Structure 1
Amino acid sequence: MTDKSNQAADFSLILASSVHDMKNSLGMLLNSLEEIIRDTPPQNEKQSEQFGVLQYEAARINTELIQLLSIYRMQHNRMPVQVDEHYPIETLEEQIARNHMLFEMHGLNVEVDCDEDLYWYYDSELVGGVVHNILVNGARYSKESMKMSAIVEDDQLVITIEDDGAGYPQFMLGALDQSFKQSVSFSEGSTHLGLYFAQQTAEMHKRGEVQGRIELCNGGSLGGGVFKIYLP
């Protein structure tokens, strides 16, 4: 290995360690922010809006740090899929509970439609992370409602997250591998890291020749964006 390769590997490790530390610090900041909001509820609409922005931005940054760390581990084969039996309704409700303060600040109603007896085999931490990211983004773009559902379709678990916002841009509704490349804009802070993480998570779930995937469309029961993840 050349000196440059060694330097790149060292920097990659340092960056991953730094992201891990930042993630932990931001997690503590989020917990403190929630305590402040609970102890000092907003007194007017402007204050409520400011708290909502703080909550959303902190949650978004924390989520992206977690995704960066996860993608680093995936690419270095340090994050094997831990597939086990899980109840999708529990995975979905855990993410609602995790973000309840965020939804409250934005005045969002989040509905869950899932058979309580439905179970499937998947990595609950990775899939939960995907759901969490979509919900955090939904808190920004939805007007007042979001809906999550899970069903089995063609021998695959399909988790769907819908919102009543403006929907996904047209260029993102085609082949997702191309949309990632076309939609990255550092000047606008638009890298779609969450969708890349979702795609990687889906593809890590396989059964025979069938591989997981994600799908974006507009419409659905709420008329906005519709995100789907298929898990064989």
Structure 2
Amino acid sequence: MMTDDALPVDFSFVLASSVHDMKNSVGMLLQTIEELSASTSPDNYDQAKQLSVLGYEAARINGELIQLLALYRVQNQRMLVQLEECYIDDVIHDQLARNDILFRSRNILVDVDCSEDICWYVDSELLGGVVNNVLVNAARYCESHIKIAAWIECDELHLAVADDGRGYPEFMLASPNAARDSVSFSDGSTNLGLLFAREIANLHRRGDRHGRIALKNAGLLKGGQIEVILP
């Protein structure tokens, strides 16, 4: 029973604190899975495949918890953006290495088209988080092929991730804000990753310009493509 002098509960703060605790627990689970994978005999293909599935699902949960915390901080203006000149090729390959087991276990070919000398002022941790989430999502929906490309156009950095899957639904392509409000109960998609990508891109600013994302189908490959555009 709440007394007259009891403080009201800030549910968003409670939720954020709970998410932080869950993230730590999932992190310990991921470490345990990695240790089990390292000790598994290469000849035990079935067990290795099961562990790779567990690792993928745990990593996906961990990524979504991190995104929730980041969005909470953005909403409460607590997100610090540290812009530094970074080699974009390094940002991409860091995330490819992070998901190497996932790609190999699913026989996914990943191509990279990014010049080694492309440098841009970005928050490499935040941009890396976006790239990681997009790669994990692409691995879930592609057939067997993912392509990452980065280039400079009109004094903006373009970083695109494309796959050979079925592509984005038409309603998401037609409305740039559809991902913010849509939830699919058929496949469990909340489109949290797109909201996260949009908010992180928006935090990258130069003068009166800010970053954005764009969705298309039949881009670099026949499936869906997300493009992060930063000033």
Per the normalisation by structure 2, the TM-score is 0.90
Measured after TM superposition, the shift of residue 111 of structure 1 is 1.8
Query: What is aligned with 1:68?
Result: 68
Measured after TM superposition, the shift of residue 55 of structure 1 is 2.5
Greater shift after overlay, 70-79 or 170-179? 170-179
Q: Is 2:25 aligned against 1:43?
A: no
- SS in structure 2 at match of 1:223: coil
Unmatched segments (≥5 aa) in structure 2: none
- SS in structure 2 at match of 1:7: coil
Partner AA of 2:56 in structure 1:
Y
Query: What is aligned with 1:93?
Result: 93
2: distance between equivalents of 1:192 and 1:174?
A: 15
Q: Is 2:154 aligned against 1:124?
A: no
Measured after TM superposition, the shift of residue 31 of structure 1 is 2.4
Query: What is aligned with 2:155?
Result: 155
- SS in structure 2 at match of 1:120: strand
Query: What is aligned with 1:189?
Result: 188
Residue-pair matches, total: 226
Per the normalisation by structure 1, the TM-score is 0.89
Give the 3 Å change call, closer, same or farther, for CA 48–78 of structure 1 in structure 2: same
Percent of residue pairs bearing the same amino acid type:
53
- SS in structure 1 at match of 2:220: coil
Deviations 1:32-89 (A, max 9, x none): 2123223224734x65654443222111111100000001111111112111111100
Give the 3 Å change call, closer, same or farther, for CA 179–17 of structure 1 in structure 2: closer
Contact 1:30 1:58 in 2 (8 A): yes
RMSD: 2.1
2: distance between equivalents of 1:222 and 1:47?
A: 33
Query: What is aligned with 2:8?
Result: 7
2: distance between equivalents of 1:147 and 1:105?
A: 18
Measured after TM superposition, the shift of residue 185 of structure 1 is 3.7
Query: What is aligned with 1:18?
Result: 18
1: distance between equivalents of 2:39 and 2:142?
A: 27
2: distance between equivalents of 1:42 and 1:168?
A: 38
1: distance between equivalents of 2:120 and 2:38?
A: 36
Q: Which has the higher helix share?
A: 1
2: distance between equivalents of 1:149 and 1:164?
A: 15
1: distance between equivalents of 2:184 and 2:9?
A: 24
Partner AA of 1:131 in structure 2:
V
Partner AA of 1:149 in structure 2:
A
Contact 2:122 2:204 in 1 (8 A): yes
Deviations 1:79-111 (A, max 9, x none): 121111111001000101111111121111222
1: distance between equivalents of 2:43 and 2:77?
A: 45
Contact 1:206 1:212 in 2 (8 A): yes
Runs of 4+ in 1 over 4 A off after TM superposition: 46-49
Partner AA of 2:155 in structure 1:
D
Deviations 1:113-163 (A, max 9, x none): 111111000111111111000111112111222111111111110000011
